Structure 1
Amino acid sequence: MTDRPSYYITTPIYYVNDVPHIGHAYTTLACDVLARFKRLAGFDVMFLTGTDEHGQKVEKSAEKAGVDPQAFCDRVSERFRDLASAMNYSNDQFIRTTEDRHKKAVQHLWKELVAKGYIYEDKYAGWYSVRDEAFYGEGELIDGPDGGKVAPTGAPVEWVEEPSFFFKLSAFEDKLLALYDSQEDFVLPKSRLNEVRSFVKGGLEDLSISRTTFSWGVPVPDVPGHIMYVWIDALTNYLTAIGYPDTNSETYKKYWPANVHMVGKDILRFHAVYWPAFLMAADLPVPQRVFAHGWWTNEGQKISKSLGNVIDPFALIESHGLDPVRFFLLREVPFGNDGDFSERAFLIRCNADLSNNFGNLAQRSLSMIFKNCDGVVPTPGAFSDADKAILNAVEGLLPVVRGHMDRQAFNLALDAIWGVVGEANVYIANEAPWTLKKTDPERMATVLYVTAECVRQLAILIQPFMPMAMEKMLDQMAVEGRGFDTLGEAGRLKPGAAIAQPQGVFPRFEVPAEGAA
């Protein structure tokens, strides 16, 4: 099928100076859920993640570890691949900026910017944060704990003076503001767009895009001693993965411009200001959207190594299971806001929504079918108004959920789905098939058919969030077609089809008493 619409979604590429944490897991999870949703909707999806492996911070981390930078990158990058596997991400590519194809792409982009007159040589003198890999103006610095100045992120800064090539970022103020006005969803959430617009309106200075004081990076073409600043290097990965510099390649033509660049709010400026400016300068289309999500805290505290409260996604999966973790991270907090991870909130949420609500709905209805209908989907009679109402509710979910997903409002999509889960539980309680078993077996068969059909459609919609759990649930019902084209009447359960003996797919967690250690 070649006429499927394309969809290109990217994570930021993760910096390899440290091991993966919950923030990395969260960003890529959001992209994975969106990629899975689009595939089920019939899209030809390209989902990209990877690692950013150049820069002074990596060079210093490798030196501290006593290994050469490439060996250091190889080791840490593998941990991010391990995370992708542990979280059951469905990424189509994993890119590394140390790959030859990437060096070729970024050097080509550099030459394009030189040819178009947007790069010039000068000397850089200013404040630089190794930890942030970012330059800061004097006015952006804040007072640090020891009385000195630090970056707005709290990172240490050092005064740097060196020869540098500059990108004429100042030439793009009006073009960027016009972009934000014409493409009003270019940055979401809206509050982040306001921040970006305000930053650009405050005036843009030309951007230093090469360094000479360290050597771990992509060499500037034809200029010995200069390596590219990590952000022009890193951002170009989104083009590298789809065949750039061959803009006539099938993959480039199919997937560019990207539909969504998903990023943490700390790197929004690089993606919503610098990146579109580089692309405009090279006469390349800009992405359709940059979505900047918030940060997680742990039990109300900022996550930091010094506090010892870093949330290890591998440990979380080991202790609680993968799909409950995937569900909680996107259910608990409006996507785009900051969120707090609390063990107690996690256990309560998963018990309430998964075990008690959806799990109970599926277990009750499928167990009754298995025991009372010879283990096959029953033949329904004529549908009552109550039957039609709940079927209409579940069959009306897709456009609602799609609207939320297209704006990356994952929690609202789950709210809509769980609203119908609740309605289905009310329906089965009201109809009481366990009573009808004695008084009206034919009506019981209809009620169980309707609830099983609700479970089927809900499970298909929930697949992007919890693929393994929903695969088990749909397997028990022997459901074959699982794309969104099977929602509604088109894919309804066939009476007489055998189902497997139902087994719960969601664990029930023990919740410690409030205040217990």
Structure 2
Amino acid sequence: WGIPVKKGDQPWPGMEGKVFYVWFDAPIEYIACTAEWADANGKTDADWERWWRTDKGAADVTYYQFMGKDNVPFHTLSFPATILGSGEPWKLVDYLKSFNYLNYDGGQFSTSQGRGVFMDQALSILPSDYWRWWLLSHAPESADSEFTWENFQTSVNKDLADVLGNLVSRVTKFAVSKFGNEVPAGGQFGPLETALIADLGARITDYTRFMAEMEVRKAASELRAIWVIGNEYLQQAAPWSVVKTDPEQAQAIVRIALNLIRIYAILSSPFIPDASATMMKAVGSDDWTWPSDVHAAIRTLQPGHGFEVPENLFRKITDEERADWQSRFSGVRT
């Protein structure tokens, strides 16, 4: 269905049976919805035109579009042609990021057959961060990707619960049990800490670059690697052993680990914003400055700064739950 393609009101040879599909003019709503926002909130035309008209302030706007691969032609051909054809100074897209298809457990998602887990159902099972992490870390960028319950369980349990959640829990609980609810002051950073800071700085540089280049899966992989080096540092530094022989040095280890949690909160916020907010609240900070300067960031929480032990960031998915969900969302939706 659609609007027949003609030259004016006359038939167009070669275009017989062709129609303008809804996406031909649907992108105009990107502009219209901004105007609607202004109207609904008592704003002036200047408030929305500043984002869309280059003669009214939009020359400094960087405009990104994200979409499935089947919508690329409408956003690279017909919509720009409409904008250019108007003869008016509308802002054109700067970067367009398209994705391949996400399939479901050996087949395709199907709303008519109820095959797949849909947003309302997903959020009734687990909070949004669980789904955000899996979807972004498995984004179908270079090829189609497939959601399976086994992979989802593994990703949640290993990445979120074991790597990130376990670090936050171990550090805060150990710190409180040995030194109380304030960042301890003792000890000095040594070779292990120097190596950690160098590794962290290099990885944050790569992570930032992947984010800027919209390489979502690479960014997620780098973020996980950043979580891992924190765990590796703790395993090597072993504050639970050091505290028995050198409690001053154990304090230095705990101090850098608590600052790591704050850094992880900032870096993780594009992927798991709710967990990031929980981490930041736990370390008693509202400073979301991007940690480009790791040497400064790792010292942001000074001795005497208060913190608390948060609830577990992520719970593990059991085999029984996985089997139940796999069965429940394999066919007709109820």
Bin for the TM-score computed over the shorter chain: 0.7 to 0.9
What is the match of residue 168 of structure 2? 362
Distance in structure 2 (CA, Å) of the matches to 1:513 and 1:481: 38
C-alpha distance after superposition, 1:378-425 (max 9, x if no partner):
114221111011123334444322211222211211111211211111
Distance in structure 2 (CA, Å) of the matches to 1:294 and 1:450: 41
Bigger Cα displacement from structure 2, 291-300 vs 388-397? 388-397
What is the DSSP-based 3-state SS (H/G/I as helix, E as strand, rest coil) of the residue aligned with 1:497?
coil
The alpha-carbon distance between structure 1 residues 410 and 402, as it changes in their structure 2 partners (threshold 3 A), is same
Distance in structure 1 (CA, Å) of the matches to 2:47 and 2:288: 35
| 1:236 maps to amino acid | I
Bigger Cα displacement from structure 2, 478-487 vs 425-434? 478-487
| 2:256 maps to amino acid | V
Instruction: Identify, as 1 or 2, the structure richer in helix.
Output: 2
What is the match of residue 127 of structure 1? 17
Aligned positions of 1:7-156 closer than 5 A = 120-123=8-11, 126-127=16-17, 135=19
Asked if 2 retains the 8 angstrom alpha-carbon contact of 1:334 and 1:409, the reply is no
Distance in structure 2 (CA, Å) of the matches to 1:254 and 1:335: 33
TM-score of the aligned structures, taking structure 2 as reference length: 0.81
Q: Does 1:268 align with 2:72?
A: yes
| 2:50 maps to amino acid | E
The alpha-carbon distance between structure 1 residues 485 and 447, as it changes in their structure 2 partners (threshold 3 A), is closer
What is the match of residue 330 of structure 2? none
Distance in structure 1 (CA, Å) of the matches to 2:293 and 2:186: 18
Distance in structure 1 (CA, Å) of the matches to 2:282 and 2:323: 39
What is the match of residue 39 of structure 2? none
What is the DSSP-based 3-state SS (H/G/I as helix, E as strand, rest coil) of the residue aligned with 2:17?
strand
Distance in structure 2 (CA, Å) of the matches to 1:415 and 1:236: 36
Q: Does 1:468 align with 2:284?
A: no
% identical aligned pairs: 21
Unaligned runs of 5+ in 1: 1-54, 58-118, 129-134, 136-207, 209-228
What is the match of residue 143 of structure 1? none
Shift of 1:306: 4.9
Distance in structure 2 (CA, Å) of the matches to 1:331 and 1:372: 36
More RCO (CA 8 Å, sep 6+): 2
The alpha-carbon distance between structure 1 residues 230 and 258, as it changes in their structure 2 partners (threshold 3 A), is farther
Bigger Cα displacement from structure 2, 332-341 vs 316-325? 332-341
What is the match of residue 328 of structure 1? 134
Shift of 1:320: 2.1
Q: Does 1:291 align with 2:78?
A: no
What is the match of residue 282 of structure 1? 86
Asked if 1 retains the 8 angstrom alpha-carbon contact of 2:49 and 2:58, the reply is no
What is the match of residue 312 of structure 2? 504
Instruction: Identify, as 1 or 2, the structure richer in strand.
Output: 1
What is the match of residue 483 of structure 1? 289
What is the match of residue 23 of structure 2? 231
What is the DSSP-based 3-state SS (H/G/I as helix, E as strand, rest coil) of the residue aligned with 1:493?
coil
Q: Does 1:459 align with 2:265?
A: yes
What is the match of residue 150 of structure 1? none
The alpha-carbon distance between structure 1 residues 246 and 460, as it changes in their structure 2 partners (threshold 3 A), is closer
What is the match of residue 302 of structure 2? 494
Distance in structure 1 (CA, Å) of the matches to 2:322 and 2:62: 46
TM-score of the aligned structures, taking structure 1 as reference length: 0.54
Among 254, 263, 279, the alignment partner of 1:448 is: 254
Asked if 2 retains the 8 angstrom alpha-carbon contact of 1:394 and 1:458, the reply is no
Shift of 1:439: 0.8
The CA RMSD measured in Å over matched residues stands at 3.0
The alpha-carbon distance between structure 1 residues 398 and 426, as it changes in their structure 2 partners (threshold 3 A), is closer
What is the match of residue 438 of structure 1? 244
